[in-house]
């Protein structure tokens, strides 16, 4: 099927070096390890997982015209089935505008030890090329899909980090995306540290224009605790509900909790899938987000039931991701996901209200 509207994905891309330890990691020790050289970054992870599942993607990624940028491009182009559904996306990926001139694709080293991860990311040095590149790509995308409804996924945009040598104002790239597509798009946002560290007050007005906001619990605590005042999970949800922000908070091996718009339906609780043989949780959150959007894709006014159905799919995508090393090295197609889902018994999404909800939130606060 040609001319299928692709999901616009904007996010990071990087080389990932994963060091696998079969024991607990201590400093000042020597280890014999298993070593994996892979590709990752939120934008790459979303793109490859959606493409392998047959969903067309138009990716605007922070990758340079270097060895790793070319590897990422080739990996994306290998997903021929999904890319062939969108002539426009395929044309853009094959164009000279896909890779950024005078930009170095960053690297990250991830130590996996007893299901825990320690991440070392390379310091990024920016020129004005990234901002101008992003603006040019957005304008090109809008021109290709004039007056059509869009689905937009915003991942980690490294240039928004005030700690990087970025010539733009902090948050400007993410704000550009939200404000460009706020009137005619379904917008999903899963911030990285560079956006999270700016805090809830900074992003308040922008998040009210986002359709779904996702962070993990540790990230959400950082997002809200900007003034050395620790607030509880119930207060975080209250802040989101007051602003009618639909959000999902992933809690690693404990599942996820969500809230839909004003929260009048209750607290959405998704217990984790019991997986045997967890290998690596790297990229599970990105897999969750991709799974979520695989169901909400193209639904401008999704309901709470739609949101719960999407969370159910997202649990399967995230669970599968945990059975392989790396964030996007082993992306399943839709048939593989369907077979994988059959390994689990029916475990419906719960919606809790009142005292029961508050009691559960207090348990999560102690994690």
Q: Rounded CA gap, 252 and 280, in Å? A: 12
Q: Is pLDDT of 135 > 80?
A: yes
Average pLDDT over residues 145-174: 82
Q: Which range has the worst mean pLDDT, 47-56, 322-331, 349-358? A: 322-331
CB-neighbour burial class of residue 140 (10 A; exposed 0-12, middle 13-18, buried 19+): middle
Let me know: does 361 contact 267? Beta carbons within 8 Å.
yes
Letter string b/e over residues 61-94, b meaning 16 or more CB atoms within 10 A of that residue's CB: bbbbbeebbebbbebbeebeebbebbebbbebbe
Q: Which range has the worst mean pLDDT, 149-158, 323-332, 346-355? A: 323-332
Q: How many residues does the chain have?
A: 367
Among residues 229, 228, 191, 232, which one has the least CA distance to residue 212? 191
CB-neighbour burial class of residue 109 (10 A; exposed 0-12, middle 13-18, buried 19+): middle
Let me know: does 186 contact 307? Beta carbons within 8 Å.
no
Question: What does pLDDT average to over the chain?
Answer: 88
Let me know: does 333 contact 303? Beta carbons within 8 Å.
no
pLDDT band at 216 (very low <50, low <70, confident <90, very high): very high
pLDDT band at 1 (very low <50, low <70, confident <90, very high): very low
Q: Is pLDDT of 167 > 70?
A: no
Average pLDDT over residues 157-172: 76
Among residues 198, 192, 219, 187, which one has the least CA distance to residue 14? 192
Q: Rounded CA gap, 357 and 73, in Å? A: 45
Q: Which residues contact 157 (CB under 8 A, 6 or more apart)?
A: 10, 11, 12, 62, 173, 174, 192, 194, 195
Average pLDDT over residues 320-330: 80
Average pLDDT over residues 76-97: 91
Q: Rounded CA gap, 304 and 310, in Å? A: 10
Q: Rounded CA gap, 236 and 264, in Å? A: 15
pLDDT tens-digit map of 292-309: 999 999 888 899 999 999
Average pLDDT over residues 235-255: 93
| DSSP per-residue string spanning 216-283 | EHHHHHHHH--SS----HHHHHHHHHHTT--EEEE-GGG-EEEE-TT-TT-EEEEPPP--SS----TT
Percent of the residues in the chain that have a pLDDT greater than 90, as a whole number: 56
Average pLDDT over residues 321-340: 85
Is 91 or 132 the better-scoring residue by pLDDT?
A: 91
Q: Where are the alpha helices (DSSP H) in the chain?
A: 42-52, 67-77, 80-83, 87-93, 128-144, 172-181, 193-196, 200-207, 217-224, 233-242, 284-296, 304-321, 334-341, 354-365
What pLDDT sits at residue 25? 75
3-state class of 202 per DSSP? Answer: helix
Question: What's the pTM value of the predicted model, to 2 decimals?
Answer: 0.92
Average pLDDT over residues 39-59: 95
pLDDT band at 132 (very low <50, low <70, confident <90, very high): confident
What pLDDT sits at residue 306? 96
Q: Is pLDDT of 320 > 70?
A: yes
Q: Is pLDDT of 161 > 60?
A: yes
CATH of domain 7-26+33-215+273-335: 3.40.1190.20
The token pair that represents 88 in the structure block: 């426009």
What pLDDT sits at residue 2? 45
What pLDDT sits at residue 212? 98
Q: Is pLDDT of 4 > 70?
A: no
When mean pLDDT is compared over 27-31, 283-287, 342-346, the highest value belongs to 283-287
Phi, psi of 28 (to 5 degrees): 65, 30
Among residues 100, 129, 113, 116, which one has the least CA distance to residue 13? 100
- DSSP-derived secondary structure letter, 99: S
Report domain extents, the chain. 7-26+33-215+273-335
What pLDDT sits at residue 84? 86
Among residues 2, 45, 362, 54, which one has the least CA distance to residue 214? 45
The token pair that represents 224 in the structure block: 């809200």
Letter string b/e over residues 197-210, b meaning 16 or more CB atoms within 10 A of that residue's CB: bbebebbeebbebb
């Amino acid at each position: 099927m040609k001319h299928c509207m692709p999901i616009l994905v904007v996010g990071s891309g990087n080389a990932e070096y994963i060091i696998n330890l079969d024991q607990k990691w201590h400093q000042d020790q020597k280890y014999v390890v298993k070593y994996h050289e892979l590709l990752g970054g939120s934008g790459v992870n979303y793109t490859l997982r959606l493409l392998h599942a047959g969903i067309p993607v138009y990716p605007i990624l922070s990758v340079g015209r270097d060895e790793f940028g070319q590897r990422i491009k080739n990996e994306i182009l290998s997903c021929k089935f999904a890319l062939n559904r969108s002539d426009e996306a395929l044309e853009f990926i094959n164009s000279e505008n896909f890779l950024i001139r005078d930009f170095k694709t960053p690297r990250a080293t991830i130590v996996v030890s007893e299901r825990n991860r320690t991440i070392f990311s390379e310091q990024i040095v920016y020129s004005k090329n990234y901002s101008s590149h992003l603006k040019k790509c957005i304008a090109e995308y809008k021109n290709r899909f004039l007056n059509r409804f869009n689905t937009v996924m915003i991942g980690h945009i490294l240039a928004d980090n005030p700690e990087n040598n970025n010539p733009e104002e902090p948050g400007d790239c993410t704000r550009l995306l939200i404000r460009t597509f706020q009137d005619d798009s379904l917008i999903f946002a899963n911030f990285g540290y560079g956006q999270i560290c700016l805090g809830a007050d900074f992003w308040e007005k922008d998040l009210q224009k986002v359709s779904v906001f996702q962070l993990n619990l540790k990230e959400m605590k950082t997002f809200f605790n900007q003034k050395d005042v620790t607030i509880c999970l119930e207060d975080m949800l209250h802040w989101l509900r007051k602003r009618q922000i639909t959000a999902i908070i992933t809690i690693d091996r404990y599942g996820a909790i969500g809230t839909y718009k004003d929260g009048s339906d209750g607290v959405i609780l998704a217990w984790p899938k019991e997986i045997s043989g967890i290998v690596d949780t790297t990229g599970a959150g990105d897999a969750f987000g991709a799974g979520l959007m695989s169901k909400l894709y193209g639904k401008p006014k999704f309901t709470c039931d739609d949101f719960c159905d999407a969370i159910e799919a997202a649990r399967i995508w995230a669970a599968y991701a945990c059975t392989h090393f790396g964030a996007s090295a082993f992306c399943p197609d839709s048939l593989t996901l369907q077979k994988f889902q059959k390994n689990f018994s029916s475990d419906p999404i719960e919606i809790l209200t009142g005292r029961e909800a508050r009691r559960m939130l207090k348990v999560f606060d102690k994690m």
